[in-house]
Amino acid sequence: MTKIAAKDVESNRRRGGDLRTLLSPATAHATAGFMGVLTLQPGEVVTEHYHPYSEEFLYLVSGELLTKIDGEPMPLAAGEALHLKINVRHRLENHGTEPAFMVFQLGPLAPRPELGHVDTEPLPGQEPA
């Protein structure tokens, strides 16, 4: 059994927002997937990407988000969940006035961590190729 507090995990801001992977192979010796939390402040986004090996399960605890699924807008409100199939492009945007707080889980794991995400737009602070 592994217990981890979000405040004890370093924030990953590579794709935008405050993303913290809580339970994973590295932190909990997980073998089937990983889970974490995301906080998006008003005006923040998580850039578009997809997962070639994993399904993703999102649950919005508080706030509101505009998700873009394969480019199509889909609003997500607190208390709603979203299932993303393997290879589905997705982007998260907070156009609200309050922070949005989300729990996410992905599984199964990619064969290697670097294969788990494919970015389809420039990351924050980077110019397009």
CATH (domain of 84) = 2.60.120.10
Span 31-59, mean pLDDT?
97
Residue 79 amino acid letter: G
What's the pLDDT at 31? 95
Is 121 part of any domain? no
What's the pLDDT at 90? 98
- Report d(CA 17, CA 29) in Å as an integer: 25
Sign of the C-alpha dihedral, residues 18, 62, 81, 71? negative
Is 8 part of any domain? no
What's the pLDDT at 60? 98
Sign of the C-alpha dihedral, residues 129, 105, 74, 6? negative
Query: In total, how many domains does the chain have?
Result: 1
Residue-wise DSSP of 2-48: ----GGGS--B-TTSSEEEEEESHHHH--SS-EEEEEEE-TT-EEEE
Q: What is the extent of the structural domain holding 62? A: 35-109
What's the pLDDT at 107? 97
What's the pLDDT at 129? 54
Is 60 part of any domain? yes
Is 81 part of any domain? yes
Is 45 part of any domain? yes
The yes-or-no verdict on residue 91 having pLDDT over 90 is yes
The yes-or-no verdict on residue 77 having pLDDT over 70 is yes
Is 9 part of any domain? no
pLDDT-above-70 percentage for the chain: 97
Is 62 part of any domain? yes
Are the C-beta atoms of 120 and 48 separated by less than 8 Å? yes
What's the pLDDT at 127? 64
Is 10 part of any domain? no
Span 51-73, mean pLDDT?
98
